[in-house]
A and B are shown apart, each in its own frame.
Chain A
Amino acid sequence: DADVTQTPRNRITKTGKRIMLECSQTKGHDRMYWYRQDPGLGLRLIYYSFDVKDINKGEISDGYSVSRQAQAKFSLSLESAIPNQTALYFCATSGGTSGSYEQYFGPGTRLTVT
């Protein structure tokens, strides 16, 4: 089984709808992240959480919100979806004692807003 899972894998929704993307991990990591990927722009950080009680905005948080329901679960919500939120969304986790801060990514959710 995958260590970081995302649901749904694909979603098409209409402008103005509320949508939630979910992420679960079995790695036991305390840090979780949400990114979006757009062609030619790499990955940009939306929100991140260093533990259940810690939520922080990333560089492009406008139009998004998150919930850290448990150490293993981190959800991303689009309150009122708009077409320019069409993108590939990735969840990632980080933790452990290595000290080098590498992150482990889920398979992604492809979101299309029409």
Chain B
Amino acid sequence: GNSVTQMEGPVTLSEEAFLTINCTYTATGYPSLFWYVQYPGEGLQLLLKATKADDKGSNKGFEATYRKETTSFHLEKGSVQVSDSAVYFCALSGRAGGTSYGKLTFGQGTILTVHP
């Protein structure tokens, strides 16, 4: 079945530091890939997505590139802010015709804390 593995957390950074959160996946076919963010006390929000190999998703200074050859979708940001403190989830969804069509498989989440 499908699975998503994220780097162990928590991650603690100083403001303006570079961020990488690793995500690798196992899936049949060509899934769509997502990063979701959960701020304290809130639900999950879609941060960015990529639907095919070599696509780069980007939003709010965050980027991730769909790497089929390494089955990865690492999240990066060049300069983090205190307001980026949250839990980040990598996820995938299978395509139409497959058993995982329309369903998301999540990684376990990575807690990010950014200090001033």
Contacts and interface: CB of A to CB of B under 8 A. Distances in A.
Contact of A42 (B51, B103, B109): B109
A53 B89 CA distance: 31
Size bracket, chain A contacts: 20 to 34
Contact of A94 (B43, B102, B106, B109): B102
Contacts of B49: 100, 102
Interface residues of B, number: 20
Given A40-B108, A42-B107, A42-B108, A104 B102 contact: no
Contacts, number: 55
Contact of B93 (A90, A101, A106): A101
B45 interface: yes
Contacts of A100: 32, 49, 51, 93
Interface string A24-46: 00000001010000001111110
Nearest to B90: A42
A48 B100 CA distance: 12
A40 B6 CA distance: 11
Q: Tell me the interface secondary structure of chain A in the complex.
A: strand
Contact of B106 (A42, A99, A102): A42
A42 B45 CA distance: 14
Nearest to B33: A100
Contacts of B103: 33, 45, 48, 58
A68 to B, nearest CB: 15
Contacts of B104: 33, 43, 45, 92, 101, 103
Contacts of A99: 51
Nearest to A104: B46
Interface of B: 32, 34, 36, 42-46, 49, 51, 89, 93, 101-104, 106-109
Interface of A: 4, 31, 33, 40-45, 48, 50, 58, 90, 92, 94, 99-108
